[in-house]
Amino acid sequence: MLKQYLQFKLSQKLSPQQIQLMKLIQLPTQAFEQRLKQEMEENPALEAGKESDEFDNQLDEFDNTQDDYEEHEQIGEDINVDEYLSDDDVPDYRTQVSNYSADDEDRDMPFAAGTSFSQYLTNQLNTFRLTDDERDIAEFLVGSVDESGYIRRSLADITDDLAFTQNVFTDEKSIEKVLHVVHQLDPAGVGARNLQECLSIQLHRKEKNPDIELAIEIIDNAFDQFTKKHYQKLIQKFDITELQLKNAIEEIERLNPKPGGSYSGNNRIVEHVVPDFAIKIVDGELELTLNGRNAPELHVSREYTNMMKGYKEAKDKSKSQKDAVMFIKQKLDAAKWFIEAIKQRQQTLFVTMSAIMHYQKDYFLTGDERKLRPMILKDIAEEIGMDVSTVSRVANSKYVDTPYGTKLIKDFFSESMINDQGEEVSTREIKKILETVIENEDKRKPLTDEKLAAILLEKGYPIARRTVAKYREQLDISVARLRKQL
């Protein structure tokens, strides 16, 4: 049975302007510049540079002229209000009008195309004498090499793929023979199926001497003991001195475990960090500045202002003129919203970073990470009177240039623990002390996690062994056995 009834419900929805502001706040400097460029390309009413405030008064006066238009056209009757309250990523004003005709060309900036790593290897195959089948297999093997320079597939899988995709029927023995040809390509070690084979290939291509020959023996016949750093077993196995083992290990450490990464033509994207803030110490006090690229000077187009002024002064207003002026007003409103959002972004960034700087004043004055105070997002949010999510957007992707290097802002946030004095200290402080202790340990007898926990307890930080292991892993430090050196 169908029933009709009314239901009143209160709900909170973000306005398009609020959504736009949140998206702008989380952008780092470089991404913000791209977003600004995109907006200026899409909205002709938005221009860079300074401009007088005269337009604000003209725009307010123009709002009064809407009554004249709305008397003749019942604007708004067919508008779905929910569309204006939606969380759509594309603002409404962008979808109503297109500034481009159907036959406009899509002119994209061309990218420079270098030789790919796979093509670089294939070109080298021309220097070898291969039968047609062998060349097909070699090209397939080269195509199976990943970015690191390895072939991570079994010969059985490659045999099946050659039969199904290339119509080449062969066996694993023939593929193994061609694989030895691939191993002769540059860079040395390319085409290896695992790390052991990669290192062995590189060592066999070096000029032979006692150290190289011993290194080959270690990699080929005692790789497991080498990776586990069982140095005494290696000394006994090969009947060598500790100095000979040390020299052989130095030769192995000079090898490249990822030969594909050394190819200069792989056209990889290099990311550059642009600090969003800068902190300087001036006369013993901290001085915070916002990167100027985050504070562009924008204004509303003068031409669009004059169009609106001309419409207002015109006595006879045609339908086409009214439609054009409605388009202009949409663009002008969008421009004003965007300018206002940028101003709010600047203020939010500065206020948030200023609070973080004063909260961690002792650290910024000295650079000593042991002076970092425990700080969570909620601490800063309460201090500046903003939501935790806003502080998170500022901290997660922004960098600050300090006298001690460029730092990611979220790294200043840390949890707290209680030391033996009953004081609240930052976990960053403990990690720094742990890192220092490990740096200064005897590398011939590295400290175990239990011994590290005992040392931290002596220094006044009562933490468990498993917590020490967690902090060590977060610092990307290996276990004691793998830190051992001769």
Question: Where do the domains of the chain lie, and which CATH numbers do they carry?
Answer: 14-73+271-413 (no CATH), 117-262 (no CATH), 417-483 (1.10.10.60)
Mean pLDDT of 84-100: 42
pLDDT band at 311; cut points 50, 70, 90: low
d(Cα 34, Cα 115) in Å, to the nearest integer? 28
pLDDT digits (tens, 9 = 90+) for 172-205: 888 888 888 888 888 888 888 888 888 999 998 8
d(Cα 309, Cα 305) in Å, to the nearest integer? 6
Residue found under tokens 């390309």? 41
pLDDT for the residue numbered 279: 92
d(Cα 263, Cα 88) in Å, to the nearest integer? 43
Q: Indicate whether 61 pLDDT > 60.
A: no
Percent of the chain whose pLDDT exceeds 90: 6
pLDDT band at 352; cut points 50, 70, 90: very high
d(Cα 188, Cα 199) in Å, to the nearest integer? 9
Q: Indicate whether 88 pLDDT > 90.
A: no
Q: Which of 97, 101, 175 minimizes the C-alpha distance to 141?
A: 175
Mean pLDDT of 370-392: 87
pLDDT for the residue numbered 95: 42
pLDDT band at 353; cut points 50, 70, 90: very high
pLDDT digits (tens, 9 = 90+) for 396-439: 888 999 998 888 888 888 777 776 666 667 777 788 888 888 88
pLDDT for the residue numbered 94: 44
> Which 8-state DSSP code applies to residue 272?
-
Mean pLDDT of 293-298: 79
pLDDT digits (tens, 9 = 90+) for 447-470: 888 888 888 888 888 888 888 888
d(Cα 189, Cα 183) in Å, to the nearest integer? 6
By residue count, the chain amounts to 486
For the chain, the C-alpha Rg in angstroms (whole number) is: 33
> Which 8-state DSSP code applies to residue 408?
E
The pTM (predicted TM-score) of the whole model is 0.53
pLDDT band at 46; cut points 50, 70, 90: confident
pLDDT for the residue numbered 67: 46
Residue 10, CA distances (Å) to 4, 17, 83, 100, 104 in order: 20, 20, 17, 41, 46
Encoded tokens for 52: 């007088």
d(Cα 96, Cα 218) in Å, to the nearest integer? 70
Bigger pLDDT: 266 vs 449: 449
